[in-house]
A and B are shown apart, each in its own frame.
Chain A
Amino acid sequence: MDPFFFRVVWALARRSLRGTLRRPQFIAPLVLFPSMFLAVNVGGLTRTTALPGFPKVSGFLDFQLAGAMTQSLLIGGVATGIATALEIEGGFFDRLVASPIPRVALVFGRLLATSVVAAGQITYFLVLGFVFGASVQGGVGGVLVVYLIGVVAGVGFGAIGQAIALRAKNASTVQGIFPLVLVVLFASSAFFPRKLLSSPVDTVARANPLSYIADGMRTPIIQGVGATSVTEGIVAAVLVVGGACGIALLALRGRLREA
């Protein structure tokens, strides 16, 4: 592929990263909200590990870490969408469109930045977990799997946010999807084992890719690498990123056509 494409993607990614780091109100929700949720869950629901059918874990924090990561990555996706929408509202997107750059770089530049932020989010929760006594049963390999699934899924969530922003063209609409994100998250096995969910949520959770992504990141932490759920997690993350990028590129095409 044209080296200019990679140069432009990298330049746009650097700009997006700078923007994210210089806007604390964007960074804070990515970690604060899931951290508080994690603290409440771990503080009050520890006895659920004694329920019949609950997987064998060293501690409830180990189990909940993947849920917090998934939640954080989803909020990251919303933040990516809001940043894109603000760019459209402020006119900077027009400046980029009026530049002689490959159009798809508009999507991939920001997604590259999203992947870096996602890696940071994973790091934050792993460190938080280690500090409070969690451990990764899968060792270094397990940590790498968590990063792999987390970053790929994070990029996918970012692409969904971008697609919504490109269609809606305003930040308030993108922000409005946040409650929906929480509903989708709770209708998955991110915070509770799928086996212990009752109908109809268990049915929804079975079809919800977030379940596979969360379980894919959880298994290396509580069991180790090699389980089926890791493969399923990777496949789910890849499907999400593939589908979401496709939708984002279609949304970009539509936006450029109607511009």
Chain B
Amino acid sequence: MAVDGIDLQVQPGEVYGFLGPNGAGKTTTVRMLVTLLRPTGGRATVAGFDVAREPQKVRRKIGVALQEAALDLLMTGRELMELQATLHGIPAKKVHARAEDLIARVGLSDAQDRRVGTYSGGMKRRLDLAMALIHAPEVLFLDEPTTGLDPTSRATLWDEVRRLKNDGTTVFLTTQYLEEADQLADRVGIISAGKIVAEGTPAALKAEVGRPHLDLCFDGDADVGRAREVLAGFGEVAASPADGVDLSIGVLEGSRAIAPVIRALDEAGIVVGRVELVEPSLDDVFAARTGSHLEGAGAAPAPGAATV
């Protein structure tokens, strides 16, 4: 059984991140919700319609970009967009304009008359997304939209998801990348072995397993006791910091606490050699709930990140 008794609710206008390792049941869940797979039991409604009993009504309300960009490589981008518009019943007079608008929106205007087979992976993904949006769907399903993409293409897709959220589109986003769920999702559902093991906002889920803290190492023979006194007002100072760390202090405000802490220590004449913000991740949440870590946790480079 790929999924077992999943119970979840996504609010209109929400970006819901469905996070889990490969084989957890993410794609199976999506395929059931987009009417490509008939559930063997239970009930699911999308945009108010039952996926098993009213699949045609569901299809009119949803946009779908599946895991593998399902495109006809022999067609041009424009031809595919116009076909998709026709399949969604957009009036013939508006097909061309609608297709052009969306192609421009995903930055493919220059490539629209080229065959899709010549597109890069990122371009195919963007076209796939544009096709899913052709009829301005109420609910958009994105199944691992950035898997295998370079950071630039990933950033473009992330920006588009944020724009959709601002436009009020409900987005159901499956991903195996923690960073992606953390960055984009209003709420996250974590699935493992076909069951939901955790659900909530990324912040709330992470707060369940720990709080962010700063690990500090001082230069030379700094007075750790004095540093402890200086930082007492910033948060709870750990009684026994981790190995190789001189002092550890809880900071609820995360990265925004770094500058004031450093400034206070500097004014007290204590030189900080190294500072690291340690925050619980969704992988910690996953580990806390399942006892194992997500495959490839943290493997997705954040857009703009560089490896030196």
Residues of A within 8 A of B (CB): 4, 7-8, 11-12, 15, 18-19, 22-23, 87, 90-92, 94-101, 257, 259
Since A15-B79, A87-B72, A99-B87 are in contact, a sample of 18 more A-B pairs with Cβ atoms closer than 8 Å, ordered by chain A residue number, is A4-B89, A7-B92, A8-B86, A11-B83, A11-B86, A11-B87, A12-B83, A19-B72, A91-B68, A91-B70, A92-B71, A95-B64, A95-B66, A98-B62, A98-B64, A99-B59, A257-B38, A259-B38
Q: Is the CB of B38 within 8 A of A91?
A: no
The closest CB in chain B to the CB of A22 belongs to: B74
Once the chains bind, are A100 and B83 in contact (CB under 8 Å)?
no
Question: Which one of B35, B36, B75, B87 contacts A18 once the chains associate, using CB atoms below 8 Å?
Answer: B75
Question: CB-nearest residue of chain B relative to A4?
Answer: B89
Task: Check A259/B36 contact, CB under 8 A, given A15-B79, A15-B83, A98-B64.
Answer: yes
Q: Does B88 contact A (CB under 8 A)?
A: yes
Chain A residues contacting B84 (CB-CB under 8 Å) are 95, 99
Q: Given known contacts A94-B36, A94-B66, A95-B64, is B74 in contact with A101 (CB within 8 Å)?
A: no
B75:A15 contact, CB within 8 angstroms: yes
- Identify 30 residue pairs between A and B in the complex whose beta-carbon atoms are under 8 Å apart, listed by A's number: A7-B92, A8-B86, A8-B87, A11-B86, A15-B79, A15-B83, A18-B74, A18-B79, A19-B72, A19-B75, A23-B74, A87-B72, A90-B72, A90-B73, A91-B66, A91-B68, A92-B72, A95-B64, A95-B70, A95-B131, A97-B35, A98-B34, A98-B35, A99-B84, A99-B88, A100-B60, A100-B87, A100-B89, A257-B38, A259-B37
B143 to chain A, nearest CB (A): 11
Q: Give the 9 A-B CB pairs with smallest separation, nearest first.
A: A91-B70, A100-B59, A99-B87, A11-B86, A100-B60, A22-B74, A95-B70, A98-B64, A19-B74
Q: Which of B73, B84, B86 has the most CB of A within 10 A?
A: B86
Do A101 and B87 have beta carbons less than 8 Å apart? Answer: yes
- With both chains docked as a complex, state the minimum distance between the C-beta of A91 and any C-beta of chain B, in angstroms: 3
Is B292 an interface residue, CB under 8 A from the partner?
no
Find residues 71-111 in chain B having any chain A CB closer than 8 Å to their own CB: 71-75, 79, 83-84, 86-89, 92
- Chain A hits for B60, CB < 8 A: 100
- Using a CB–CB cutoff of 8 Å, the interface residues on chain B facing chain A are 34-38, 56, 59-60, 62, 64, 66, 68, 70-75, 79, 83-84, 86-89, 92, 115, 131
* A11: B residues at CB distance < 8 A: 83, 86-87
Q: CB distance B36 to A98 under 8 Å?
A: yes
- Residue contact A90 to B70, C-beta cutoff 8 Å: yes
In the assembled complex, the Cα of A255 lies from the Cα of B15 at a distance in Å of 32
Please indicate the chain B residues that have their CB under 8 angstroms from the CB of A19 in the complex. Answer: 72, 74-75
How many Å lie between the Cα of A100 and that of B89 in the bound state? 8
C-alpha gap A95/B143 in the complex (Å) = 13
| Nearest-CB residue, chain A, relative to B57 | A100
| Nearest CB of chain B from residue A64's CB, rounded to whole Å | 34
> Shortest distance in angstroms between A68's beta carbon and chain B's nearest beta carbon?
28
Chain A residues contacting B35 (CB-CB under 8 Å) are 97-98
**Residues of A contacting B70 in the complex (Cβ-Cβ under 8 angstroms):** 90-92, 94-95
Q: Which residue of A lies closest to B73 (CB)?
A: A90
In the bound assembly, the distance between CA atoms of A170 and B38 in angstroms comes to: 21
- A145, B56: Cα distance in complex, Å: 41
A16 to chain B, nearest CB (A): 10
Max chain B CB contacts within 10 Å: which of A11, A12, A23, A100?
A100
Distance in Å from the Cβ of A102 to the closest Cβ of chain B?
9
Q: Judging by beta carbons under 8 Å apart, are A7 and B86 in contact?
A: yes
A15: chain B residues at CB < 8 Å are 72, 75, 79, 83
Contacts of B36 in A (CB 8 A): 94, 97-98, 259
Give the CA-CA distance A98 to B131 in the complex, in Å.
12
Q: How far is the CB of B77 from chain A (nearest CB, A)?
A: 13
**For B59, B70, B71, B75, which residue has the most chain A Cβ atoms within 10 angstroms?**
B70
Distance, CA A257 to CA B34, complexed state (A): 14
Q: A15-B79, A91-B68 are in contact. Are A100 and B86 (CB under 8 A)?
A: no
Chain A nearest CB, measured from B60 CB (Å): 4
Nearest CB of A to B117, in Å? 9
Closest CB in chain B relative to A24 CB, distance in Å: 11
B66: chain A residues within 8 A (beta carbon): 91, 94-95
Q: How far is the CA of A11 from the CA of B35 in the complex (A)?
A: 22
* Distance A92 CA – B71 CA, assembled complex (angstroms): 6
**Shortest distance in angstroms between A101's beta carbon and chain B's nearest beta carbon?**
5
* Best-surrounded residue of A15, A22, A95 (most CB of chain B within 10 A): A95
Q: Which A residues lie within 8 Å of B83 (CB)? A: 11-12, 15
Residues of chain A within 8 A of B86, CB atoms compared: 7-8, 11
Give bound CA distance, A16 to B87, whole Å.
14
B110 to chain A: closest CB distance in Å?
21
Residues of the A chain whose Cβ atoms lie less than 8 Å from the Cβ of B73: 90
